[in-house]
Structure 1
Amino acid sequence: MSNIIIGTAGHIDHGKTALIKALNGFEGDSTNEEKERGITIDLSFSNMTKGQQNIAFIDVPGHEKLVKNMIAGAFGFDYVMLVISASEGIKPQTVEHIEIINLLGLKEIIVVLTKKDLITDDELILKKEEILEFLSTFDFEIKFVSCVSIYDETSVEKLKNQLFSINSSTKQEENFFRFYVDRVFSPKGIGTVVTGTVLGKKCELNEKLYICQSQKETKIKNIQVHNQNALEANISNRAALNLQGVNISHINKGDLITKKGHIRGFDGIDISFKCLKTKKLNHNQTYSLFIGAKKIEVKILLFDCITNLEEGFATIKASENLYTIFGEKILLRSGNDTICGGIVLNPIIDPMKKNQKRNLLEALDKKDFTNAYKELLEAHKKGLGIISSTQRFALSHSEAIEFAKKMQDVFIDEKELVIYPLSTKKFVKDFIKEIYTKNAYALLSNTSIALRLKWASVAFIQSALDELEAENFLTKDVSLYKNANIKEDFAKDLEDIVLKRLKQEDIIPTAPYNIYDDLDLDRKLGDDILKSLTAKKQVIRLQHNLFIHFESLNKIVKAMREIIKNDGFIGIPNFKERFDLSRKYLITYLDYLDNYSDIKKVDDKRLFV
């Protein structure tokens, strides 16, 4: 089924709610307060269907003090139905609604002149021309203009047919599911239910989701689309999601529900903005930010300006994390005045120099991702994760890789999804050279080097090793690399070196991995050496990570037997009096005594049989 979301816009009392009722029978002003005051206070949702076509309506308030509720619904619109009274024409809230939908990038509109029965046909023609002339100053795409009276069924039916003739949702599928919560409630015996508009990708029954603001995972217990149970909710569906394990106090209007791992939150984002005519955005001033269904007070820091600007770049600073993606539309208001609209350019804040940030924002403003990557790599010399491209640039991983391939002087690890500047490879090569220069007997693999350079991927390290091999600095022996100047096979020498190290450590041997790191040995090679020494009984394995030289073990056992002979027993207290060892060693050596047939354990002591 094709889905379209049409949002209403227009001045108070121009007949938006009455028009929806005429089209589908839905009574939008349902609360007592709305009925008493005769205005729409909150968003109302309804739909109508014809065959495989479904049109959902979001009816928004027209009152000037309720514009915030209008904005909360507007982000989900596919088309805007601009409702204007034929008798009154364009009024102040009509203009503000038009300006808001223009700032939000909503270009496809339907113009409906209501109450046509209140004026003559000639007056209606003039009013229509007047409205179209005003709208021509914006770059809207007007799908059609319809003149209606709710008392004229023919005009209502004509409008209905025109609405069903327009194309399905104009929203582009994105890389992951997003859902801004516009209502939260908890029906008795049901649990927490949220409503909103499906963005990005569809969601399915039993799918795991993530509430960004509360950092909570949840699962969809039930989906309703237009009051009908459904197995899934597609893009541009108005949906109600019954969430598992979420207390109503843990989720609020404006919260973002998505898939875990796709969006990180930051207390700042960078935007481009353009103010309405006669308005300016002031530096270091507090404004109300509207994004999705969320409203939050934020501070604006203009870029390259300490006074005010009509358009440009700015950083938004908030008291809580903002969860946004590249290209998202925002609005900034001061009190009841809409000041400007903006586009999220940089949803992930990185430490950057000012000139780098300027170049980055200019590239992002043009969707020049290749140059954006270049600027980010200047700030991320130890690698830039492509995995963040879904949020940074609204690009899939494959699209991000293709952009990266257009760049010069970079190494792309397509498996780990990381881009490295080639200048960083010199650092990796120098790091490896230093190891082999200090220790001519070093034997390391790409994975063992990766354990030391945790920010570098195995593939990136391997590319550095390949170059060092080509430069005749290293030679490869199966998967290990050794100093090219050492020609002899020093495997036996390494056994002697490890054995000597354990003998020096005596009764307090360190963990094998510490020995390997100190001797610059690959961990697998080190394990093989210890296995060989253990098989020869030159080294004894006491625990998973505790190996001791056989002479040291014999010495400590002899000393422990002497304690039993003198004290009649050995336990932790009298053992520690003679040997100031950590509890780990004391317990290990006491446990080892249990291997001897002439020693028995009684409670926590060892005695001769």
Structure 2
Amino acid sequence: MSNIIIGTAGHIDHGKTALIRALNGLEGDSTNEEKERGITIDLSFSNMSKGQQNIAFIDVPGHEKLVKNMIAGAFGFDYVMLVISAIEGIKPQTVEHIEIINLLGLKEIIVVITKKDLVNKEELELKKEEILEFLKEFDFEIKFISCVSIYDETSIEKLKIQLFSIKNSTKQEENFFRFYVDRVFSPKGIGTVVTGTVLGKKCLIDEKVFICQNQKESKIKNIQVHNQNVLEANISSRAALNLQNVNITNLKKGDLITKKGHIRGFDGIDISFKCLKNKKLNHNQTYNLFIGAKKIDVKVLLFDCITNLETGFATLKANEQLFTIFGEKIILRSGNETICGGTILNPIIDPMKKNQKKRLLEALDKKDFTSAYKELLEAHKKGLGIISSTQRFALSHEEAINFAKNMSDVFIDEKELVIYPLDTKNEIKDYIKEIYTKNSYALLSNSSINLRLKWASQAFIQLCLDELVNENFLIHETSLYKNANIKEDFTKDLENIVLQRLKDEDIEPTAPYNIYDDLDIDRKLGDDILKSLTSKKQVIRLQHNLFIHFESLNKIVKTMKEIIKKDGYIELSNFKQRFDLSRKYLITYLDYLDNYSDIKKVDTKRIFS
């Protein structure tokens, strides 16, 4: 079934609710009886269907409530139905709604002139001309204009035909599912249910979802679309989702449900904004931010201004995390007054200089993603994750990679989905050179360098290693790289070095990986060296990561047996008195004693058998 969501706008007394009731016989309400019916979908919404077409109306009576709920619901609108009385025409409240629609970027509108039975034909035609003339000031696409009376069934039927003739949802599928919660309730025996509009991508029954505000994963147990149980809900569907293992107290209006891993939260966002006529946005002042179904207080910090502006860029700071994506529309209000509309340009706050941030916002405002990448890469010398492009630019991974490919002087790791400034490879090459310069016997692999430079992907490291080989600084042997100035095989020398290191460390040997790092050798090579030394009995393995020189072990065992001779036993306490070692070593050596036939364990003590 195709779905269209139409939001109503207009003056409180111009007949919006009566018109909806005449079209579909329903009047949305939010009574307790409605809530108790079960998983009901449209508590204050209604719909009408014809064949495989469904039209959902979002209409909330009451002027101030209408403004707030229109903002809250507008992110889900496909079309706006502007309802204007033939008697009064455009009123100040109608103008406010039109301005808000315009600020939210909603372009496709339907104009319905109500109460046509209360004026003559000439007056009706004059009102129509006045309305169309006023709307010329805005960049709207008027689908049609219709004159009706709720007492004239023919006019209502004509409007129905016109409504069912408009195209399906114009929303484009995005990279991931999003769902702003506009209601939360818990019918008896069912659990937690949320209602809202499906955005981005469809959602499926039994699909895992993620609640951003409380960082909790859940699963969709059931879906209803217009009071019908369904297996999935498509874009622009008004849907009720029955969520698994979520307490009703952990959800509230405005929370965002999405897929895990796509959206991060920040306490600030950067926007472009444009104020209504005769309005200005003040620097360092608190406003009400409306985004999706959420309302929250934010402090406005203007760019390049410490007084006020009619249009420009601003950072909005909140006392909680905001989960947003590039291109989302917002409204800022002060009390009951709408001040401006805005577009989110930068949903991810990066540490950047002010001039750099402004260049980034100017690029994003033009959707010049190539320039935006360049600015971000200046702030992310150690790699910019392509996966964040779904939130940063509303781009898929493929689109983000294609934009990056059009850039010069970058390295793109398509497997790890990271972009690096190409000049960053010099930092990696210098790091590798320093290792081999300080330690001529270094033998490292790509993976061992990656362990030290966790920010650099193996593909980027490989590019650097290949260049160092071409520059005759390194020689590549199997998976290892050695200093090109040393021609002989020094693996045997490394074995002697490791053995001497363990001998010097005596009864407090360090973990193998510490030895490998200190000697600048690859971990696999180091493991092979220890295996060789162990097979020759020159080194004894006591635990997974504890190797000791055989002479040191023999010495500690001899001393432990002398303690038994003197005290009659050995245990942790009298062992600790003789050797100020950590419990790790003490317990390991006590356990090792159990391998000797002349030793037996009684409770916590070791004695001669």
TM-score, normalization by structure 2: 0.97
1:466 lines up with 2:466 in the alignment: yes
Inter-partner Cα distance in structure 1 for 2:435 and 2:104: 57
1:67 lines up with 2:67 in the alignment: yes
Letter aligned with residue 406 of structure 2: K
- SS of the equivalent of 1:113 reads strand
Deviation by residue 1:294-333 (Cα, 9 ceiling, x = unmatched)? 1111110000001111100000011111110000000001
Number of the residue aligned with 2:443 = 443
Contact 2:287–2:332 (Cα < 8 Å) also in 1: yes
Inter-partner Cα distance in structure 1 for 2:243 and 2:426: 51
| Correspondence 1:395-434 to 2 at 5 A | 395-434=395-434
Q: Give the number of aligned pairs.
A: 600
List alignment gaps of at least 5 residues for structure 2: 33-41
Deviation by residue 1:187-239 (Cα, 9 ceiling, x = unmatched)? 11111111000000011111111111111111111110001111111100000
Number of the residue aligned with 2:187 = 187
- SS of the equivalent of 2:486 reads coil
Inter-partner Cα distance in structure 2 for 1:275 and 1:43: 33
TM-fit CA distance, 1:31: 4.7
| Correspondence 1:84-99 to 2 at 5 A | 84-99=84-99
Number of the residue aligned with 2:553 = 553
| Correspondence 1:124-523 to 2 at 5 A | 124-523=124-523
Inter-partner Cα distance in structure 2 for 1:53 and 1:481: 66
Over the aligned positions, Cα root-mean-square deviation in angstroms equals 1.1
Inter-partner Cα distance in structure 1 for 2:76 and 2:62: 17
Inter-partner Cα distance in structure 1 for 2:517 and 2:132: 76
- SS of the equivalent of 2:444 reads coil
TM-fit CA distance, 1:66: 4.3
Inter-partner Cα distance in structure 1 for 2:363 and 2:74: 28
Inter-partner Cα distance in structure 2 for 1:61 and 1:590: 80
Inter-partner Cα distance in structure 2 for 1:156 and 1:118: 16
TM-fit CA distance, 1:48: 1.0
TM-fit CA distance, 1:61: 3.4
Inter-partner Cα distance in structure 2 for 1:240 and 1:569: 72
- SS of the equivalent of 2:138 reads coil
Inter-partner Cα distance in structure 1 for 2:519 and 2:70: 68
- SS of the equivalent of 1:451 reads helix
TM-fit CA distance, 1:454: 1.1
Deviation by residue 1:4-53 (Cα, 9 ceiling, x = unmatched)? 00111100021111111111110235659xxxxxxxxx982111111111
Inter-partner Cα distance in structure 1 for 2:63 and 2:481: 74
Inter-partner Cα distance in structure 2 for 1:491 and 1:123: 100
Contact 1:43–1:58 (Cα < 8 Å) also in 2: no
Letter aligned with residue 538 of structure 2: Q
Inter-partner Cα distance in structure 1 for 2:269 and 2:505: 54
- SS of the equivalent of 1:469 reads helix
TM-fit CA distance, 1:396: 0.5
Inter-partner Cα distance in structure 2 for 1:318 and 1:508: 52
Letter aligned with residue 27 of structure 1: E
Contact 1:269–1:348 (Cα < 8 Å) also in 2: yes
Contact 1:61–1:67 (Cα < 8 Å) also in 2: no
Inter-partner Cα distance in structure 1 for 2:126 and 2:31: 37
Deviation by residue 1:122-148 (Cα, 9 ceiling, x = unmatched)? 111111111000011101000001111
Inter-partner Cα distance in structure 1 for 2:606 and 2:239: 70
Inter-partner Cα distance in structure 2 for 1:260 and 1:189: 28
TM-fit CA distance, 1:67: 1.5
Contact 2:291–2:331 (Cα < 8 Å) also in 1: yes
Contact 1:61–1:69 (Cα < 8 Å) also in 2: no
Letter aligned with residue 5 of structure 2: I
- SS of the equivalent of 1:130 reads helix
Inter-partner Cα distance in structure 2 for 1:30 and 1:498: 76
Inter-partner Cα distance in structure 2 for 1:101 and 1:61: 17
Contact 1:9–1:60 (Cα < 8 Å) also in 2: no
Inter-partner Cα distance in structure 2 for 1:350 and 1:315: 12
- SS of the equivalent of 1:201 reads coil
- SS of the equivalent of 1:13 reads coil
The 10-residue stretch of structure 1 (458-467 or 68-77) with the greater mean CA deviation from structure 2: 68-77
Letter aligned with residue 535 of structure 1: S
Contact 1:540–1:547 (Cα < 8 Å) also in 2: yes
The 10-residue stretch of structure 1 (455-464 or 323-332) with the greater mean CA deviation from structure 2: 455-464
Number of the residue aligned with 1:35 = none
- SS of the equivalent of 2:11 reads coil
TM-score, normalization by structure 1: 0.97
Inter-partner Cα distance in structure 2 for 1:130 and 1:278: 23
Letter aligned with residue 318 of structure 1: A
Letter aligned with residue 522 of structure 1: D
Letter aligned with residue 596 of structure 2: Y
Inter-partner Cα distance in structure 2 for 1:72 and 1:328: 13
Inter-partner Cα distance in structure 1 for 2:28 and 2:439: 79
Contact 1:13–1:62 (Cα < 8 Å) also in 2: no
Contact 1:62–1:93 (Cα < 8 Å) also in 2: no
Contact 1:268–1:316 (Cα < 8 Å) also in 2: yes
Contact 1:291–1:331 (Cα < 8 Å) also in 2: yes
Contact 2:29–2:43 (Cα < 8 Å) also in 1: no
1:78 lines up with 2:60 in the alignment: no
Letter aligned with residue 333 of structure 2: R
TM-fit CA distance, 1:65: 5.6
Could you say if the C-alpha distance between residues 481 and 125 of structure 1 is closer, same or farther in structure 2, counting changes exceeding 3 Å?
same
Contact 1:12–1:62 (Cα < 8 Å) also in 2: yes
Number of the residue aligned with 1:608 = 608
TM-fit CA distance, 1:60: 3.1
| Correspondence 1:513-592 to 2 at 5 A | 513-592=513-592
Contact 2:30–2:43 (Cα < 8 Å) also in 1: no
Give the 4+ runs in structure 1 shifted more than 3 A.
Answer: 29-32
Inter-partner Cα distance in structure 1 for 2:278 and 2:565: 98
Inter-partner Cα distance in structure 1 for 2:335 and 2:592: 77
Identity %: 86
TM-fit CA distance, 1:588: 0.4
Could you say if the C-alpha distance between residues 543 and 510 of structure 1 is closer, same or farther in structure 2, counting changes exceeding 3 Å?
same
